[in-house]
Amino acid sequence: AGAFDLLAACPGWLYAVGIARGLVESGQCKRVLSIGAEALTKIIDWNDRSTAVLFGDGAGAVIIEAVPEQYGIKSVIMGADGSGADQLHKRAVAPCLPSGTPLSETLYMNGREVYKFAVRVMDTATIEALEKAGLTVDDISLFVPHQANLRIIEAARERLGLTRERVVVTVDEYGNNSTASIPLALRDAVADGRVNVGDNLLLVSFGAGLTWASSVLTWGPA
C-alpha cells in the first residue's frame, strides 16, 4: 500500500477524507486509511496561556471504501486563504531573517482574529457542504465541529439554529487536537450511541494557514 503525508493543519483529516473519497470513486484504490494525528504539546510555549490551555495531543483514523449509494460521503469542501497565515501558525527558527532576530519554534495564535475567521468560515463552509449534498440544516442529525474552543462551537451552533443535543463537544475532555479532533469526536459520538444508520452528519473544521474544510455524510450499517 502507498502512503503519504498531508499537511493542512486542523482541517487536515477532512482534506484526507476528500482525497480518499476521490481515490475510491476513481477506482484507483479499494480502501483508504485516513489518519489524523497530532502531538501539539511538543510545540507549545507553556508560558503562553492563549495556546497552552487549549491544545492537546491525539489521533483518530477511519477506513474509507465504497458503500451503497444512499450512504457515505455526500460532499467535501476544502478551502484556504494564505493572507491570514500570520494569525495562526507555527513559528520557525529563522536566524537568517532580514531582522536577524530568531523566532521560537512554537505555536502562535491571534485569538481574536482567529475567532472572527472561524465563526465566519464555519457558517459559509457549512452552507456550501449542505448545498453540494442537496440537504438543509434541518436534515442534519448531528453536528461534529472542530473542537477549537466552546465559544466558537456555540457561536456556530447558534448561527445554524441547532440545539445543543445535536452538537458533539469533546474539547472539555481532550482540548484542541487539531486534525485529530473531528475523528476523536466522531468516535465518541458513535460509542455513546448518538449516531444511527441513516443519520446525516455535518463535519466542519478550520485552522492554521488559514485553511478550512467541511463535509456531509450519511451513516451506514456496520
Confidence of residue 97 (pLDDT cuts 50, 70, 90): very low
Radius of gyration of the chain (CA): 18
What mean pLDDT do residues 20-37 have? 96
Q: Which residues contact 192 (CB under 8 A, 6 or more apart)?
A: none
Q: CA torsion sign, 175 to 176 to 178 to 181?
A: positive
Whether the per-residue pLDDT at 99 is higher than 70: the answer is no
How far apart CA 180 and CA 66 sit, in angstroms, is 23
Catalytic residue list contains 89: no
Which residue shows C-alpha cell 469526536? 185
* 85 vs 88: CA distance, rounded Å: 6
Which of 10, 149, 177, 200 does the annotation list as catalytic? 10
> 29, 89, 110, 146: which one is catalytic?
146
The predicted-structure confidence for 136-178, as pLDDT tens digits, reads as follows 999 999 999 999 889 999 999 998 999 999 999 999 999 999 9
Q: Is the pLDDT of residue 90 over 90?
A: no
pLDDT of residue 135: 97
- Rounded to two decimals, what is the model's pTM? 0.88
Distance (Å) of CA 98 to CA 92, 94, 101, 102, 212: 14, 10, 8, 10, 31
- Contacts of residue 206, Cβ cutoff 8 Å, sequence gap at least 6: 10, 11, 117, 118, 121, 122, 125, 146, 148, 212, 213
Exactly one of 149, 176, 177, 200 is catalytic; which is it?
A: 176
Q: Does 29 qualify as catalytic in the annotation?
A: no
Does the pLDDT at position 93 exceed 70?
no
pLDDT given for residue 25 in this prediction:
95
Is the distance from CB of 135 to CB of 122 less than 8 angstroms? no
Omega prior to 210 cis, within 30 of 0: yes
Which of 91, 148, 80 shows the shortest CA–CA distance to 114?
148
Tell me, yes or no, if 146 is annotated catalytic. yes
Contact in structure between 55 and 175 (CB atoms under 8 Å): yes
Per DSSP, the three-state class of 170 is coil
Are 37 and 57 spatial neighbours (Cβ–Cβ below 8 Å)?
Answer: no
Residue 115 banded pLDDT, cuts 50, 70, 90: confident
- Three-state DSSP class for residue 59: strand
